[in-house]
Amino acid sequence: MATYCEFVMFILFYGFILPTWVVGKPQVPCYFIFGDSLVDNGNNNRLVTFAKAIYLPHGIDFSSGSSGRFCNVRNFADFMAEYLGFTSPIPPFAFSNGSNILLGLNYKSAAAGIRHETGRHLGDRITFDQQLQNHKLTVLSIRDVLGGPESTSTYLQKCFYHIGFGSNDYLYNYFITSVYDTSSRFTVEEFTKLLIQQYRSQILELYNYGARKVALNGLGPVGCTPYEMSRYSSNKTCVEHINTAVKLFNHYLKLLVDELNNNTSLQNAKFIYLNFYDMSMEVIQQPSSSGFRVVNSACCGMGLNNGALTCLPFEVPCLDRNKYFFWDAYHSTEAANKIASRRTYQALNESDVYPLDIYHLVQL
């Protein structure tokens, strides 16, 4: 469960053709992924948690069935790996056998957040701090393979790093007042500034481990997910006080991108911001022009908007999954994920990314 294939919410643009160079030699030697359930591909499978997708109908359109992805088929990172030129998806850290670490790893964990306590009511999860420690182990292993810190540093500076955190810190922390006291201790503004402050320290730690080409997810409109609408809205409209909070986070995150890029001590580093919010709202407000028919109800789930309960084991989902934006109460379908990766890999509009898209970032 965790944040969301839903933040991968983007416009279907049928006339957009990816260049032929995305399917050849990889444009980067490795691709490292940090975050929550947006692209968790199995790291939570062995954890004691409600936040995992190891049963059908998750993965219903995969020939091999469910894999741990919170989607009907491929997620954002699967498509991004293809666009970057990799011949197979980036494997989860939890199932890495060591032979594939030079190509990158996926550390993401459903229900994880920037803050350590985020998501604890769902059970075990791998927080950003823990994901950073897992990556530190990976870097040490790469040093053993490449023969030392200097060669490792040179190698990692060419790699692509994708980070997506923050949604769960609102969804599974601040706005669950029956479990967490953060909303009684902090205003939304105070809480958001604390998140950004901690996020900054974590990103700098990743820089110290060798990251130089870094994409940071802006948060999508959490208040428009079937789950939040089932909690707060009876007429299938977005929940504005939640969207206001995530927009505030995005504002400060974009400022952080500027700060990091202007920090002369961060040599050879470049950070970009992915504007998931605005791209998502375009789809939600004009779904038919994007190829979707249903954007306010999930393909799989129960209750109001199919969002009161997420996808249950062996539930029968909607049949025409390409017409649904949301797969379950929180996450988007493969149709949305494919377009999400296109819009962020090579921006359709200037506002899609800031200051560069992923294609131009990895060329640096």
Q: Which residues carry out catalysis?
A: 37, 328, 331
Check if the beta carbon of residue 114 is closer than 8 Å to that of residue 166. Answer: yes
Tell how many helices (H) and how many strands (E) occur in the chain: 11, 7
**Phi, psi torsion values for 271, nearest 5 degrees:** -120, 140
Indicate left, alpha or beta for 42 from its phi (over 0: left) and psi (-120 to 50: alpha): left
Which neighbouring-strand residues pair with 215? Answer: 162, 272
Indicate left, alpha or beta for 147 from its phi (over 0: left) and psi (-120 to 50: alpha): left
Check if the beta carbon of residue 58 is closer than 8 Å to that of residue 71. Answer: yes
Sign, CA dihedral 47-127-7-28, equals: negative
| Long-range contacts formed by 346-354: CB under 8 A, 24+ apart | 346/18, 346/19, 348/11, 348/13, 348/16, 351/275, 351/278, 352/274, 352/275, 352/278, 352/279, 353/272, 353/273, 353/274, 353/275, 354/254, 354/257, 354/272, 354/273, 354/275
Residue in the block written with tokens 């929550």 = 36
Residue in the block written with tokens 């950070």 = 271
| Long-range contacts formed by 96-99: CB under 8 A, 24+ apart | 98/141
Amino acid identity, position 96:
S
